[in-house]
Structure 1
Amino acid sequence: MAARSLASDDGKLESANFEDSPTSKKPKLEGRSPLTRWELATAFCVFFVFFIGLSCIYLTMPAAEYGKIKLPRTMSDLRLLKDSLAMYANDYPAQFILGYCSTYIFMQTFMIPGTIFMSLLAGALFGVIRGLVLVVLNATAGASSCYFLSKLIGRPLVSWLWPEKLKFFQGEIAKRREKLLNYMLFLRVTPTLPNLFINLASPIVDIPFHVFFLATLVGLLPASFITVKAGLALGELKSVKDLYDFKTLMVLFFIGSVAIFPVLLKRKRTYE
């Protein structure tokens, strides 16, 4: 873990997701995919490997005796499933954790909406501390998988979907190479850029993985804490938009500003 996906990756909201749709200025490719056949084959193979692994995990899990368990897509689904999932997690803790983590990472890797509900579930089922650890680790692992997937095939896709945003991001990264971690922390904490875009564009603009990983691991903490804590009171939530009011967003911007302050201070001294 609204105006932006804070999760899961989550910590930043994923469904409210701030993961905006492709810009209206996409180049027209006459209906053709921006990916070559080799890139499409690579994407399919990676997805197939992940899917087979996830299927094997699900097939080895004990059957639920509390009714049909499925991925929640709305707050109503989440409230209906909470009790059944709590019973399942209590009866089969190790299997549930494995299934939860593999599902979260799968969704985050392939940019499947809904990890915000997974983050809320973590709070509802495990409490704030354990839920926060679970969400941040899974969101970081999923974002890292997405980073490497984009490193393989992401450049033509991101250039097609967000040409202007990619150009802007590349320019901002070039100006902040010396304090790149601070800037990445700022982006992760605040809803300045969508998490989806950050995950896909980071390897394209040559952000080192260790910087990406650390900024994700630390930067997702504030928003993930808010989401996980909200999971303790699912009955009071009508939609994911209720999670982040104006005051909450201002707090996130304040935390992000603390991270980027050294960059601004150094720039001021340079001009002087």
Structure 2
Amino acid sequence: MTLPMLRRLLPVAILLLGLALFLLFGLERYFSFEMLSRHHAELASWVAGNIAAAALIFVLFYALAVAFSLPIAVVVTPVGGFLFGMWLGALLSVIGATLGSVAVFLAARTAFYDLFRARAGATLARLEDGFRRDSFNYLLFLRLVPVFPFWLVNIVPALLGMQLGPYALATLIGIVPGAVIYASVGASFGMLIERGERPDFGVIFEWHILLPLLGLAALSLLPVIYNRLRGGKAAP
């Protein structure tokens, strides 16, 4: 393997190593509702007295969690709602998740785009052509529908040649609804802890919440459908 190839693979290798170490040492046990229940009073007190530093640490931690694809995002956003309130918690979560997604996108594009393009050849060229025309709307759709793995949606646009600007903007907008929902769940943590109850992290899949998200996702594809119909009418 050549030195340039090693340099291209280094960012992805670092991200994969971080994930492997996290799983190997079982660090996910420190990021659970049970752990928060034990230390919620001290944590809330420190955040209240150091709000700016706490917000910065939270954003950086969230960015690292997404960049390393750690399986704790479903807990981190609610914790943001608990510590900072629903709206500020959602905002900080969106910023952190977007920064982490951008890191994964850049690492994947640096490491795999040229290799993927060389292997796929004409097939990739056709996929790229179709995706790039409406890449913003396609990605917005994928972000709004809460069934696609977040880490996978971070990588696929990089392999299909999407530009960084539209990728970051579509990610920023597309994760807002989910962030608000999960932050609202976290805002009720204090009450749940007092009652000895557990939060429902599957709330986003309840129909009264899922259907509006699917409706927003469908709306995001309307420009794509319109362009396709207009293109078909314009064809000889």
Which category describes the TM-score, using the shorter chain as reference length? 0.7 to 0.9
Q: TM-score, normalised by structure 2?
A: 0.75
Matches within 5 A, 1:27-106: 41-44=10-13, 72-106=30-64
Contact kept in structure 1, 2:140 and 2:170, CA below 8 Å: yes
Instruction: Kindly state the Cα deviation for residue 233 of structure 1 after the two structures are TM-superposed.
Output: 1.7
Q: Does 1:134 align with 2:87?
A: no
Q: Which has the larger radius of gyration?
A: 2
**Structure-2 change in CA distance of 1:124 and 1:45 (3 Å):** closer
Secondary structure of the 1:113 match is coil
1:185-226 deviations in Å (ceiling 9; x for gaps): 111111353221111222111010011011001111111111
Contact kept in structure 1, 2:58 and 2:80, CA below 8 Å: no
Question: Distance between the aligned counterparts of 1:112 and 1:157, measured in 2?
Answer: 26
Aligned-CA RMSD value: 3.4
Question: Distance between the aligned counterparts of 2:223 and 2:99, measured in 1?
Answer: 28
**Structure-2 change in CA distance of 1:86 and 1:169 (3 Å):** farther
Percentage of matched positions with identical amino acids? 21
Greater mean deviation of Cα atoms: 88-97 or 181-190: 88-97
Secondary structure of the 2:162 match is coil
Matches within 5 A, 1:170-181: 174-181=129-136
Task: Give the aligned length.
Answer: 212
Amino acid at match of 1:94: A
Q: Does 1:213 align with 2:174?
A: no
Question: Distance between the aligned counterparts of 2:115 and 2:75, measured in 1?
Answer: 27
Question: Distance between the aligned counterparts of 1:194 and 1:47, measured in 2?
Answer: 16
Q: Does 1:184 align with 2:139?
A: yes
Counterpart for residue 149 of structure 2: 194
Contact kept in structure 1, 2:44 and 2:83, CA below 8 Å: yes
More helix by share: 2
Instruction: Kindly state the Cα deviation for residue 42 of structure 1 after the two structures are TM-superposed.
Output: 4.7
Q: TM-score, normalised by structure 1?
A: 0.66
Question: Distance between the aligned counterparts of 2:129 and 2:147, measured in 1?
Answer: 17
Contact kept in structure 1, 2:82 and 2:188, CA below 8 Å: yes
Question: Distance between the aligned counterparts of 1:158 and 1:96, measured in 2?
Answer: 40
**Structure-2 change in CA distance of 1:193 and 1:44 (3 Å):** closer
**Structure-2 change in CA distance of 1:43 and 1:127 (3 Å):** same
Question: Distance between the aligned counterparts of 1:111 and 1:179, measured in 2?
Answer: 26
